[in-house]
Amino acid sequence: MMFPTSSINPTQLDAVCLFSGVDHVVRAEALRSADWTRVDAGRQVFEQGGSADALYVLAVGRIKVTQGTAAGQEVLLNYVGPNEVFGCVAVCSDDSYPATATAVVDSWSLRWRRQDMAKLVADHPVIALNAVRYLARRLAETQMRLCELQTERVERRIAHNIVRLISQAGRNHPEGIDVDFPVSRQDVAEMAGTTLYTASRILSGWQQRGLVELGRQRVTVVDPLAIEEIAEDAAKRASPFGQTYKVARRSADPLCAG
């Protein structure tokens, strides 16, 4: 993977929520205090329980965030795409990371050590406010997923997560909309809070009905409206797929997409 330094400049931090409302001079200052870190596919950026000593902004690639339970199970919390922040706890406390971040594909991230980010926050409080807003949004998303886990049947939960995946990382494919990074049936099961057997049975049923096409760590949605109807009450909710198709067809620099 090409080293991305040549493609970055302070204006590209406009797309990063942490630097929203921060002027060009401050963004340039922020970049000077950051360094690049590359993580190969399958490698960890940081581990659950490790000291939260840095904050990251993904530039190129894809990161999955997982959390282990006391029973030894692994829960897939979310995927991180380009321009998204992860490891944000390093801004808010000197605690440990509550989850593990692992590269799904070869990835490059900008990294700020805790002491460097602490100085930026002290000098420019808007960055701290942006971090709080980001964490509040993540909390709201987590609460929504918890509600789904407690109240919805498994097939609907899986459909919700497929909708999220193609909304965030969909791209055109001859057969439909492809998720643009490797996703296994185990990943789908973890996102939906179910077993691999159950997720495989539901996905195979959808494939037989012509709704999806499955490959090795690949999910292609052939009939997105049908998946939406499973996920949502179509009579009550407007279809999000007009926007999804726009996202899927957009071609942009990896650092600016997201």
- How far apart are the C-alpha atoms of 189 and 161, rounded to whole Å? 10
d(CA 42, CA 31): 27
CATH number of 152-249: 1.10.10.10
Task: Please determine, for residue 1, whether its predicted confidence score (pLDDT) is greater than 70.
Answer: no
Q: How far is CA 38 from the centre of its chain?
A: 17
> What does the domain layout of the chain look like in residue ranges?
4-149, 152-249
Mean confidence (pLDDT) of the chain: 83
Q: Model-level pTM?
A: 0.77
What do you get for the CA distance between the two ends of the chain, in Å? 19
217-235 pLDDT tens trace: 889 999 999 999 998 854 3
- pLDDT at residue number 245: 37
The C-alpha angle 166, 129, 21, rounded to 5 degrees, equals: 75
Q: In angstroms, rounded to a whole number, what is the distance separating the alpha carbons of residues 238 and 249? A: 21
Which tokens belong to 73? Answer: 């199970």
Yes or no: say if 58 and 105 are a contact pair by the CB < 8 Å rule: no
Q: What is the dihedral of CA 70, 66, 44, 83, to 10 degrees?
A: -150
Residue 98: HSE in the Cβ half-sphere, 13 Å Cα cutoff: 9
**What local confidence, expressed as pLDDT, does residue 9 receive?**
64
CA distance linking residue 67 with residue 193, whole number of Å: 12
4-149 is classed in which CATH architecture?
Answer: Sandwich (2.60)
26-75 pLDDT per residue, tens: 888 999 899 999 999 999 999 999 998 999 999 999 999 999 888 777 88
Task: Round to whole Å and give the CA distance between 182 and 41.
Answer: 10
**Identity of the highest mean pLDDT range in 91-100, 125-134, 199-208:** 199-208
Residue 232: per-residue pLDDT: 82
